[in-house]
Structure 1
Amino acid sequence: MRKYALLCLLVPVFSQAQESHRLHLTLFGGVTNYQGELQGRTFTFNQSNLGIGAGLKYDLTPHFAIRTGIQYGTIGASDRDNNDAKLRPRNLSFESRILEGNLLLEYTLFNMEEKRISPYVFGGIAVYHFNPYAFDTLGNKVFLKPLSTEGQGLTAYPDRKQYKLTQFAIPFGGGIKFRISDNVILGYEIGLRKTFTDYLDDVSTRYVDNGELLRERGLKAVEMSYRGGELKDGNPTYPAADELRGNSKTKDWYYFQGLTLTIGIGGTGNGGGGWGGGRGKTGCPRNVY
């Protein structure tokens, strides 16, 4: 009996090495959006775009895990859909691809070896690349940063520096996940990204003198920095220098939300962490005395 009990104690140790799905493949599919000068809503599906992602997750304990991955999506907005009616006459718009790499720590409230459903939260650090662009009246794609639409890099505005297209962000969020098999967990999550730039949409502060902008960046820069004249009955007069164009006091945000799929890899056992708690896969009694 003692030999049988000892065997039952040792089998889970060896089987965990073989079956522990501590390593997982993660897949994401959903939508991407942003909050900034052209999209004032804190959180909305309005003007959202497709977002996808993939990565790896490693379970440290039944509750804590490390995640790393790549996510890709498009953000964009137009003043025509701006919830602030006072901003619609400027008629600005933008789009930008977002490519992000992240490293996250995830906390799951319940042990997924014992529960089928659990809420979870996560946070960490990310590096992302963006490059805002818009389409001119002929439908041509025009990247906005080289135009210095708010005087970035112009000799007449030495205090306005060019923004970097690759930057750090702080990702955080949460969701809920549901075990659909021993090896697969389905979830729904919302992940916010706090950025340190106000130029995801190329709009941040005040208009510059259109003569200076024309001289150093050309006519296209003037055309793309104020587009009120393109509207029916719109005002074609370029705003005076130093008139407000954006709100530099707040930084832009972007976020992903959608479905996640977590698939255990590297073994044939359970898919929620491989801790063996509560599943009894060895067939041994839980209490041997």
Structure 2
Amino acid sequence: MLESKMPERGLVVLAGGGIAAIRSDICGTPGCNEFQPVFGIGALYKFDPLWSASINLDYVKLGATEKSPARPLDLSFRTELYEVTGNIHFNLLDAYSGSGGYRSSRKRFVVPYAKFGAGFIYYTATSYPGTGNLDESQTKYDPEREYPAFGIVIPFGGGLRFRFSDQVSVAPELIYHLTSTDYLDNVGPRLAPGTSRDHYGVASIRLMYTPSIKENIFSRKAQHGK
């Protein structure tokens, strides 16, 4: 545990990346997923050692290939989406060490947290026959709806925050995203009747930077006189 002169509240800048996998009409397992990259930025405000709120902007790519004998559609798809979400973070341990009524001035090196929120996605899905790269495909299937399109997303999950200094922390996290759309794979009810909406999961690592809070020079002068 490390000594800290910075209170556990205030603004934190976020940036990170990872990989995403989809659960959709044509793919529901790791075997058919083509894990695609995720990049994101955001800002978090810490209210106290337990509660925080954040807003995030993420760019997500999704892709998979049909491998189910029950639905031999013989297709692959690629989807690009932008995700804007607001989230609540709850630390499962107090950021400061100590127990009972005692709180140390030292902060924990590792703090597990839960996270949940809501937002929207703006996405475009493209499907094509067979396997391989989208850019190399000679044929693309007609869109199942008009793209780009909007959808609602509800992310939830958790992670671990590793604190290296008052300014720098790193947080690996696993977040699952429920969506309101059935078209992330460009396969809707017409091609796969009776199926549910598409969802995706993201494994990422976020860099968390807390700007230094410098004492106001005028307040200091007021305290010590002119």
User: What is the TM-score with the length of structure 1 in the denominator?
Assistant: 0.61
User: Is residue 32 of structure 1 aligned with residue 25 of structure 2?
Assistant: no
After superposition, the Cα gap between the structure-2 partners of 1:143 and 1:54, relative to the gap in structure 1 and judged at 3 Å, is farther
Contact 1:133 1:141 in 2 (8 A): no
User: What residue number does 1:68 align with?
Assistant: 55
1:102-121 counterparts in 2 under 5 A? 102-113=85-96, 114-121=107-114
After superposition, the Cα gap between the structure-2 partners of 1:190 and 1:115, relative to the gap in structure 1 and judged at 3 Å, is same
User: What residue number does 1:123 align with?
Assistant: 116
Contact 2:86 2:118 in 1 (8 A): yes
Instruction: Please list the CA deviations of residues 36-62 of structure 1 after superposition, one character each: whole Å capped at 9, or x if unmatched.
Output: 012112x67941101110100000111
Contact 1:56 1:68 in 2 (8 A): yes
What value does the CA root-mean-square deviation take over the aligned residues? 2.7
Alpha-carbon distance between aligned partners in 1 of 2:28 and 2:8, rounded to the nearest angstrom: 46
Structure 1 position 268, deviation (Å): 5.8
**Matched residue pairs, number?**
196
User: Is residue 181 of structure 1 aligned with residue 179 of structure 2?
Assistant: no
Structure 1 position 23, deviation (Å): 0.5
Of structures 1 and 2, the one scoring higher in RCO (CA 8 A, sep 6+) is 1
* Equivalent of 2:152 in 168, 172, 178: 168
SS at match of 1:33: strand
User: Is residue 22 of structure 1 aligned with residue 10 of structure 2?
Assistant: yes
Overall identity of the aligned pairs, in %: 23
User: What is the TM-score with the length of structure 2 in the denominator?
Assistant: 0.76
SS at match of 2:174: strand
Structure 1 position 97, deviation (Å): 0.3
User: What residue number does 2:177 align with?
Assistant: 193
Q: Which has the higher helix share?
A: 1
Structure 1 position 163, deviation (Å): 8.3
Contact 2:8 2:46 in 1 (8 A): no
After superposition, the Cα gap between the structure-2 partners of 1:105 and 1:20, relative to the gap in structure 1 and judged at 3 Å, is closer
After superposition, the Cα gap between the structure-2 partners of 1:144 and 1:97, relative to the gap in structure 1 and judged at 3 Å, is farther
* Equivalent of 2:137 in 139, 154, 171: 139
Contact 1:119 1:176 in 2 (8 A): yes
Letter in 1 for 2:122: H
Contact 1:96 1:133 in 2 (8 A): yes
Question: Which ranges in structure 1 are unaligned for 5 or more consecutive residues?
Answer: 1-14, 153-161, 207-244, 270-289
User: What residue number does 1:47 align with?
Assistant: 34
Structure 1 position 130, deviation (Å): 1.0
1:145-164 counterparts in 2 under 5 A? 145=143, 148=144
After superposition, the Cα gap between the structure-2 partners of 1:196 and 1:248, relative to the gap in structure 1 and judged at 3 Å, is farther
After superposition, the Cα gap between the structure-2 partners of 1:164 and 1:99, relative to the gap in structure 1 and judged at 3 Å, is closer
Q: Which has the higher strand share?
A: 2
After superposition, the Cα gap between the structure-2 partners of 1:45 and 1:78, relative to the gap in structure 1 and judged at 3 Å, is closer
SS at match of 1:130: strand
Letter in 1 for 2:47: L
After superposition, the Cα gap between the structure-2 partners of 1:38 and 1:249, relative to the gap in structure 1 and judged at 3 Å, is closer
User: What residue number does 2:104 align with?
Assistant: none
Letter in 2 for 1:22: G
Structure number with larger C-alpha Rg: 1
